[in-house]
Structure formats: C-alpha cells, structure tokens
C-alpha cells in the first residue's frame, strides 16, 4: 500500500477537487440515464439540470487550474493532476453533447436502444469515482486493478452493444438515410462517453503504479 499523504503532507484540496470532478461526472451520466429512460425525453429531466452540472464541473476545473498555479508542492505530480482533471472534465462535456443532440432530434428517440448503453456508462462512471477516491488515503494496486477491470468490462460491453445497435440500424428498412446517419452518430457518441470514463481510469492506474 502507498500513501500520498505520508509523502506530501495533508493538503487535501487537490483530492477534494478530483473527487468532486469525478462525482459531477457521475451525476451527469446518471442524469443522462434518467433522461434516456423517460418515455418522453426532456419532460422529466430538464436540460437545465445538465447545464447546472456542467457549470459545476467547469468551476472545479477552473479552481484546479488556479490551485496548480499557486501551489509549489502538490500531492501528485502536476502533470498527473492536470491529466486526471482534464479526463474527468471531458466526461460531462461528452454527456452534454449527447443531450444537446437528443434535444434537437426531430424523430422518435429509440430510448430502449440507448438503455443498455446508459447502464454501462453509469457502471463505468461509478468505477471512476471509486478509483479517484482511492487516491486520497492510500490504496493497493490490487484494489485499483479490480476496479479498473470493472471499468474495462463496461467499456468492452459498450463496444459490443454499439455494434449490435448499428447492425440492427443498418438492417432496419424503416429508417431513411437521414435517420440512419443521425442515430449512428448518437450511438457512437454514447459509446464515446464510456471511453472517456475508461481514459480517466487508466490515468488513475498509472498514478498508482508510479507510486507503488
């Protein structure tokens, strides 16, 4: 087990900010899952909720940049803090893009098709929160690898689900060319959100390996 606190003191502000960033990312993913599960998307989950969550994430990111600029000794290497902070920031940013596209889609949104993707996205976000929180008090590489395995599984399953959805889409003659292109892009955007979670998890693994 390693403990970054023992090496660098008890300044928790960077851990606080990283954990807050991970939690806000999970909040955005949970909102998206709820949004997709509604029979009439947008009716139960106003877009304002996503906007509020993204603003929080932007404030966290801005605060992190400020703290890095005025702090001489950090509990993690600066490039690692920056990389993880940026990776976490990109998760809700991707979710916001998805919701924006869904909100202007003129056709009927196939919520059932998105449901499994949303579940896997939330599993991935939950694993990221766990991994980021492990950095604060010290952890073992075994715990991190176990959580990362869950994250990689979710990402792999998300790839399979997307391919299945695309196959069904390509063979469905009810969709016109415009709908096919739009839905394909939406499926890929949701899968990319899972990739964002995977990227954040990979950075945590690298940090722990570096200090183990």
Q: pLDDT tens digits, residue range 43-82? A: 555 677 888 888 888 899 999 999 988 888 888 889 999 9
Highest-confidence range of 37-51, 135-149, 168-182, 186-200, by mean pLDDT? 186-200
131-156 average pLDDT score = 89
pLDDT at residue number 10: 52
- The DSSP element (H or E) to which 209 belongs, if any, is helix 177-211
pLDDT at 135 over 60: yes
Average pLDDT, the chain: 85
Every domain of the chain and the residues it spans: 4-211
User: Which own/partner contact pairs does 157-161 have at CB distance under 8 Å and 24+ positions apart?
Assistant: 157/120, 158/117, 158/120, 158/121, 158/124, 158/190, 158/191, 158/194, 158/195, 159/191, 161/116, 161/117, 161/120, 161/191
Topology at the third CATH level for domain 4-211: Methane Monooxygenase Hydroxylase; Chain G, domain 1 (1.20.58)
């Amino acid at each position: 087990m390693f403990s970054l606190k023992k090496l660098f003191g008890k300044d928790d502000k960077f851990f606080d900010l990283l954990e807050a960033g991970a939690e806000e990312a999970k909040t955005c993913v949970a909102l998206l899952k709820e949004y997709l599960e509604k029979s009439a998307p947008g009716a139960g989950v106003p877009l304002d909720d996503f906007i509020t969550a993204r603003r929080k994430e932007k404030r966290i990111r801005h605060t992190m940049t400020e703290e890095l600029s005025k702090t001489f000794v950090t509990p993690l290497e600066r490039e690692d803090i920056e990389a993880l902070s940026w990776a976490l920031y990109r998760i809700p940013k991707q979710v916001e893009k998805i919701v924006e596209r869904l909100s202007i889609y003129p056709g009927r949104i196939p919520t059932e098709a998105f449901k499994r993707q949303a579940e896997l996205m939330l599993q991935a976000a939950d694993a990221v929160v766990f991994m980021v929180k492990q950095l604060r008090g010290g952890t073992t590489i075994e715990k991190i690898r176990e959580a990362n395995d869950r994250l990689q599984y979710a990402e792999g399953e998300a790839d399979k689900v997307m391919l299945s959805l695309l196959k069904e889409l390509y063979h469905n003659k009810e969709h016109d060319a415009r709908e096919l292109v739009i839905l394909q892009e939406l499926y890929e955007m949701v899968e990319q959100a899972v990739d964002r979670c995977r990227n954040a998890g990979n950075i945590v693994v690298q940090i722990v390996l570096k200090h183990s």
